[in-house]
Structure 1
């Protein structure tokens, strides 16, 4: 069993203004889940050394912070590339946590074939995690029967989301409004979007800024070098074709956790 983590109450208090409200009444009045965008990055804005390569960036303090954030959200969301590269458990390891977040996997084109030995199912069987909900654009009739049964056995499932086909890649892709509507329909009042690069960059598109309630970024004191998976959303321009900043954070605060620094803020266009 993985080591249990602790996160100091005084540190948790610093993050409280950035997190979903604890009031059930406040959550019930929302038309969509509370969205926190959070990830760990190097000084050159890289998430990993290269696509598909697991790269550890967070130190012990910021790692415990990430798991504390998971205790405050009803769901954690990652893209299928993260699942294929890392085989993550997608659970919370804070000692004494009363509940676990629901893992959400974005897999529009059904690239992941779940296996009984995957960590996300192992922690589920051990009572320290939940089975994932997999959001896909593939029709129910085309879902692999074995995968459907494995998910149902552990309490997970596939959820079909309306999808469009990318002209450049011919792959299915989702609109974030449809993703959040699906989570709301499942009774998930808050979601922590953790990665990977394609997921983060797509959510940082100006069309979706109004959907992001909080941004929490761990910055590790390291450069990974060129060729990595970089947080850098598509460029935007004005009507004359002049480049503009994609986004800027406001109401910013900085918090050191060990050798890492955590940046908190709110998006504004």
Structure 2
């Protein structure tokens, strides 16, 4: 793939206040980033790769990746996009590449030697992936061998209480900080991951949000960013999420918002 378009200095300056810094707590510094259409869709339909970001906003994403210790996606994104999960900025040393983290509770991901994130690690253009599965997921020695063959690891996360399908985000991020040794993580989706982290109970876990808005409507039926509604103290609906410390940057045809969740609403 071609190298990203060089960013203007104004774009990197715009992003600087939202970059990771030591938190000193139980959780990694967590940045939530994604690209949406004007109707707040991530893709045309579930499991369909949809390109929204323009060249400059894609470059901003690659720049952001170099400032995080890890890059996290869900299984659906891994299956539909087959991403490399690295920064393609020329001259980026391996030490500045993020460690890919794939959330795969039931260990359904089937990596092979041709899977992009595996090829990227094998070539030295990116770090090997970590795959987080439930402690009771099948062993799959063949998949584990592919992952470990490029230096990656499979982490078995304790089964959620009551046998729930997915982990609570506070538990998951604590595990990533403690067991994976990750001090900062950039979360790139997909839809379930984004909407879950924007829920009122999880917003306190998010330190920065970077959202690219593309000048296009995808139409009804797409994968929508719309977190669960919330009820205020008076029993009426209130905004699901609001942001503070907001900054905007126009990059080509796109507009990018950087902000922090306002957990006080």
TM-score in terms of structure 1 length: 0.91
Give the structure 2 partner of residue 248 of structure 1: 242
TM-score in terms of structure 2 length: 0.92
8 Å Cα contact 2:20-2:68 kept in structure 1: yes
8 Å Cα contact 2:135-2:158 kept in structure 1: no
CA deviation profile, 1:82-103 (whole Å, cap 9, x unmatched) = 0111111111101111221000
Picking from 33, 36, 39, the partner of 2:31 is: 36
Picking from 46, 71, 77, the partner of 1:76 is: 71
> Is residue 2:81 matched to residue 1:86?
yes
Alignment of structure 1 residues 57-206 onto 2, 5 Å: 57-98=52-93, 99-139=96-136, 142-164=138-160, 172-185=165-178, 186-206=180-200
Q: CA RMSD in A?
A: 1.7
Runs of 4+ in 1 over 6 A off after TM superposition: none
1:240 shift after superposition? 6.2
SS at match of 1:232: coil
For structure 1, the residue ranges without an aligned partner over 5 or more in a row are none
For structure 2, the residue ranges without an aligned partner over 5 or more in a row are none
* Aligned mates of 2:206, 2:233 — CA distance in 1: 25
SS at match of 1:173: coil
* Aligned mates of 2:104, 2:18 — CA distance in 1: 28
* Aligned mates of 1:90, 1:68 — CA distance in 2: 13
> Is residue 2:210 matched to residue 1:216?
yes
SS at match of 1:97: coil
* Aligned mates of 1:155, 1:14 — CA distance in 2: 35
Q: What is the aligned residue count?
A: 259
8 Å Cα contact 1:165-1:172 kept in structure 2: no
